[in-house]
Amino acid sequence: MSKGPISQFIEHHYRHFNAAALVDAAKGYETHLLEGGKMLVSLAGAMSTAELGISLAEMIRQDKIAIISCTGANLEEDVMNLVAHSHYKRVPNYRDLTPQDEWDLLENHYNRVTDTCIPEEEAFRRLQKHIVKFWKEAEAKGERYFPHEFLYQVVLSGELEQYYEIDPKDSWIVAAAKKNIPIVVPGWEDSTTGNIFA
């Protein structure tokens, strides 16, 4: 495998202690893939809201990830970032918010995830409008799908493209949908779409 600039930087600068352990882990990952092994990536926490898609999508495109396990929130929040990025609100002083500050965000239809507020109308409602159609179609046909398969259907249909606010190459869901990577979502109810579906 050719070494990109980050790999080169790490190999040159990360020589000892935990830094060296990172180099060892990266080499182990590379060896695993070169020997035909498959990699499962597990996402927890607000990784999609933190825009992990910028790096994860490229790893998916390069076949470095074979399966993903993630929370329901991570599953949907990558799509929400895709369709509503410019409407997100950053709150750098989130640790100092008062109860009134929190209430004001809620009243203005912002759902706070640490230092980032997701806009309800532009993010949740845009997705909801389209995914509900796929749920109803599946129900009418007596078909069943996993949570990620519904999102894949919406993304691959092209219906959300009119709302894209980031380059779709930075969306890990778009990359995963194109590769049809299986995603295990052990708690879809840990998401807005999961609650709406229920």
The DSSP annotation for 162-196 comes to GG--S-GGG-HHHHHHHHT--EE-TTTTSSHHHHH
Q: What is the DSSP letter of 94?
A: G
CATH classification of the domain holding 184 = 3.40.910.10
3 found inside a domain: no
119 found inside a domain: yes
pLDDT by residue for the chain (198 residues), tens only, comes to 678 899 999 999 999 999 999 999 999 999 999 999 999 999 988 999 999 999 999 999 999 999 999 999 999 999 999 999 999 999 999 999 999 999 999 999 999 999 999 999 999 999 999 999 999 999 999 999 999 999 999 999 999 999 999 999 999 999 999 999 999 999 888 799 999 998
66 found inside a domain: yes
142 found inside a domain: yes
147 found inside a domain: yes
Domain, as residue range, for 80 = 38-190
When divided into structural domains, the chain yields a total of 1
- Its pTM stands at 0.92
60 found inside a domain: yes
Half-sphere exposure (Cβ direction) of 37: Cα atoms closer than 13 Å: 10
Q: How many CB atoms lie within 10 A of CB 115?
A: 15
